[in-house]
Structure 1
Amino acid sequence: MTTIADAGAASSPRFDRSAFLRAASDGLEALSIMERVRHIADALHVALPAGYPAALDILQPMASQLTHGFQAVAVTEYVARFGLDDFDRSMDALATLTRFGTAEFAVRPFLAHAPDRALAKMSEWAGSDDEHVRRLASEGCRPRLPWAARVPALKADLTLAAPILEALKADPSLYVRKSVANHLNDIAKDRPDWLLGRLAQWSQDDSRTAWIVRHALRTLIKQGDPRALALIGVAHGADVAVRGFAIEPPTVCLGERIAIAADIASGSTGDQRLVVDYRIHYARAGGKTAAKVFKWKTFDLAAGETVALRISQTIRDFSTRRHHPGRHDVEIIVNGITMATGGFELLAD
């Protein structure tokens, strides 16, 4: 908190450093990370002048003095919480502040409040010389942006930001291209037909566009969608045999690693482009299972060639996945088709 306080004091004598530190420290430890962002924004409100334009004049120079992205996100949250009635000034401020710490969360209330107006401004951002601003144009209006509130207009029509994605489909910045691909992958989960139709219209002669297409299709490729595979030049199914498929050890405890091995042997007289994934069916309470597909390798297999694949994975709990003892089936998937099955047993503690 002292970094933000020092930045405010350096920006203007009108910033009440002591008031900020008192307000920011009060109850902070008990809050989740996004609750802390809002809490710090409220503390900034206590320390800044009452007039919003005057507060922005102090707030914006602070951003360059911050040392952590979390601090900058908290500063952008001030704009989201107190600048909704000053739309143009606030959106311009977010475009400035996002250079120091993403404003992807702070722009969401503006999208919810005035979607057409916000998207028009974000379309302008897509033409910015600054990659951080261009990335905000895509990331801020992602339908399923993690940690962010859903925007009603985008929930009703996931494709509202299509002109922005079109403008960025060959962006020179990998930072921006990752956002565009993630945005498109969000759409794939609910509107796969729209996504496949749109991407089929994109020329992949530009390697930057081809990169976006591959990463945007990752969910559909994991599902073995033949249309998605075709868009990356892969046939549905392959003339191969999976040999030597093994999972070691056959029994593990939570926190231990499994090693998966498989030899992919060509049965074709021609070269084949292969996408090899593996699917684990995680045991759940009551005898149920939940499947998750993991990427393994994409490669070209020459006629008559055999490629040995090896990968390992630690079986540990995450906030999004809790493990249960029992049989865990594992499948090897080649070009969308299950080619071999095996499994391991997770023992109870």
Structure 2
Amino acid sequence: MADLKDLFTDSLIHSIADRTSQYDPTFNQEVFFACTYTDDWEQLALKQRVRRLSTALHKGINKPYTEALPVIKKTAAHFSGLTGIVFPDFVEQYGLDHWPESVEALAELTAYSTSEFAVRPFLLKDTGRMLAQMKEWTRSDSDHIRRLASEGARPRLPWGQSIPAFKKDPSPLLPLLEPLLADPSLYVRKSVANHLNDISKTHPDYVIQWVQDRHGQHAHTDWILRHASRTLLKQGNTEVLQLFGYPDAAEAVVQTFSLESDSICVGESLVFSADLYSTIDLKVRVEYAIDYMKKSGRPSRKVFHLADTHLTGGEAKTFSRSQSFRNMTTRTHYEGEHAVSILINGMEKARRFFHLNGTMKEKEIRGET
């Protein structure tokens, strides 16, 4: 898998320099490149490269912030996606003392990439003022700006600067989300759902109350609330399961639960199947949990969704899955005993153990094949 930092290719960096020169003839490309390509460039991670480039732009433009900002905004219009966050980062670095100009710029720039990271220091500097601005953004005609109102204030924004106050008390965030609960844009609705899911991890009662009060009012709202509750559903929260129509699963059983092999190697897949049976008609949320062996030697559970379905009373239904144990940048697998379990409406119904070995190459080296 390619490293995201490699998005910043030499070609892209030269394109940034050329576009900036187009809007600022005095832009010093030599200074820009010298600031960018120092000895540690290859070692810099994605966000570090973003910061390096926004710093290099500042030095290459070499003008007061309010004079440089129009150049930044015009240049930014030519860059999208993750590479485009260089320009909101410029505002984050140099615009905190120029509030009106910077806030307007963040709203404009978010349409090209996203200003969700750059808005965080403004929230920390003056929380009340920035929340009031974000409340105004919820009324924007632009779905990019409405999304920024939600995404920028998330308590647990991935890669975002931490805002401890929102983790401790997320109640000031709820007025931002209320106007967006039936937003016509899926882009915005996904953000609201992720925002509420963040809140559910520390303050589940807020989300549960919203499900109780608002579920069934609008199809878009129902979608948001369902996705916002995914952590609580995975945790087997009985109240949330029942709010979404999943009853007690006492009448459901796993008749058979088999593994294709009870010993696999890192890089291979665990293949399993299960026959579920209920004595009565039952709406079920079927999940499986893997108890991974961690480096510490202790197990750590991760729950995966298998199916939302109905079991017909007196009939069995078969489910199967292949779970990869290939090492990834986000997960390293360790040898040892693991377990896989079948969950029905949050209740563990069956469990099987299996052994995870090293890679086939490691086994060959040890003479185990």
Classify the TM-score, shorter chain: over 0.9
Question: Contact between 1:238 and 1:334, CA under 8 Å: does it hold in 2?
Answer: no
Question: Contact between 1:243 and 1:262, CA under 8 Å: does it hold in 2?
Answer: yes
Structure 1 CA distance for aligned equivalents of residues 119 and 316 of structure 2: 51
Q: Tell me, what secondary structure is at the counterpart of 2:154? A: coil
How big is the shift at 1:41? 0.9
Asked if residue 336 in structure 1 is aligned to residue 349 in structure 2, the reply is no
Indicate the residue corresponding to 2:70 in structure 1: 57
Indicate the residue corresponding to 1:249 in structure 2: 261
Structure 1 residues 39-54: aligned runs within 5 Å? 39-54=52-67
> Which letter maps to 1:10?
Q
Asked if residue 305 in structure 1 is aligned to residue 315 in structure 2, the reply is yes
Deviations 1:27-75 (A, max 9, x none): 3222111111111110011122421111111110111212x42321011
Q: Tell me, what secondary structure is at the counterpart of 1:142? A: coil
Indicate the residue corresponding to 1:327 in structure 2: 337
Q: Tell me, what secondary structure is at the counterpart of 1:275? A: strand
1:170 to 171, 178, 182: 182
Question: Contact between 1:238 and 1:274, CA under 8 Å: does it hold in 2?
Answer: no
Question: Contact between 2:167 and 2:199, CA under 8 Å: does it hold in 1?
Answer: no
Q: Tell me, what secondary structure is at the counterpart of 1:307? A: strand
Deviations 1:61-115 (A, max 9, x none): 111212x423210111000000000112111101100001111110000011011
Question: Contact between 1:238 and 1:335, CA under 8 Å: does it hold in 2?
Answer: no
Q: Tell me, what secondary structure is at the counterpart of 1:195? A: helix
Moved more, 320-329 or 182-191: 320-329
Structure 2 CA distance for aligned equivalents of residues 190 and 155 of structure 1: 7
1:187 to 185, 190, 199: 199
Alpha carbons of structure 1 residues 181 and 243: separation in structure 2 relative to 1, 3 Å: same
Indicate the residue corresponding to 1:154 in structure 2: 166
Q: Tell me, what secondary structure is at the counterpart of 1:102? A: coil
Q: Tell me, what secondary structure is at the counterpart of 1:160? A: helix
Structure 1 residues 93-112: aligned runs within 5 Å? 93-112=105-124
Indicate the residue corresponding to 1:260 in structure 2: 272
Question: Contact between 1:188 and 1:195, CA under 8 Å: does it hold in 2?
Answer: yes
Indicate the residue corresponding to 1:113 in structure 2: 125
Moved more, 304-313 or 171-180: 304-313
How big is the shift at 1:287? 4.2
> Which letter maps to 2:148?
L
Structure 1 CA distance for aligned equivalents of residues 110 and 248 of structure 2: 42
Structure 2 CA distance for aligned equivalents of residues 70 and 320 of structure 1: 19
Asked if residue 138 in structure 1 is aligned to residue 138 in structure 2, the reply is no
Fraction of identical pairs, as percent? 40
Structure 2 CA distance for aligned equivalents of residues 84 and 189 of structure 1: 31
Moved more, 49-58 or 236-245: 236-245
Structure 1 CA distance for aligned equivalents of residues 32 and 345 of structure 2: 57
Q: TM-score, normalised by structure 1?
A: 0.95
Question: Contact between 2:277 and 2:313, CA under 8 Å: does it hold in 1?
Answer: no
Structure 2 CA distance for aligned equivalents of residues 40 and 61 of structure 1: 16
Structure 2 CA distance for aligned equivalents of residues 126 and 238 of structure 1: 44
Deviations 1:97-146 (A, max 9, x none): 00011111100000110111111111111111111111111110100111
> Which letter maps to 2:357?
L
Question: Contact between 2:215 and 2:225, CA under 8 Å: does it hold in 1?
Answer: no
Where structure 2 has 5 or more consecutive residues not aligned to the other structure, the ranges are: 1-12, 363-369
1:221 to 233, 237, 251: 233
Question: Contact between 1:4 and 1:71, CA under 8 Å: does it hold in 2?
Answer: no
How big is the shift at 1:285? 4.4
Question: Contact between 1:203 and 1:209, CA under 8 Å: does it hold in 2?
Answer: yes
Q: Tell me, what secondary structure is at the counterpart of 1:242? A: strand
Question: Contact between 1:278 and 1:330, CA under 8 Å: does it hold in 2?
Answer: yes
Structure 2 CA distance for aligned equivalents of residues 125 and 168 of structure 1: 11
Asked if residue 79 in structure 1 is aligned to residue 91 in structure 2, the reply is yes
Structure 2 CA distance for aligned equivalents of residues 313 and 234 of structure 1: 26
Provide runs of 4+ in structure 1 moved above 6 Å. none
Structure 2 CA distance for aligned equivalents of residues 304 and 10 of structure 1: 73
2:224 to 212, 235, 239: 212
Indicate the residue corresponding to 2:290 in structure 1: 280
How big is the shift at 1:200? 1.5
Q: Tell me, what secondary structure is at the counterpart of 1:111? A: helix
1:32 to 45, 60, 71: 45
How big is the shift at 1:238? 4.8
Alpha carbons of structure 1 residues 207 and 304: separation in structure 2 relative to 1, 3 Å: farther
Q: Tell me, what secondary structure is at the counterpart of 1:161? A: helix
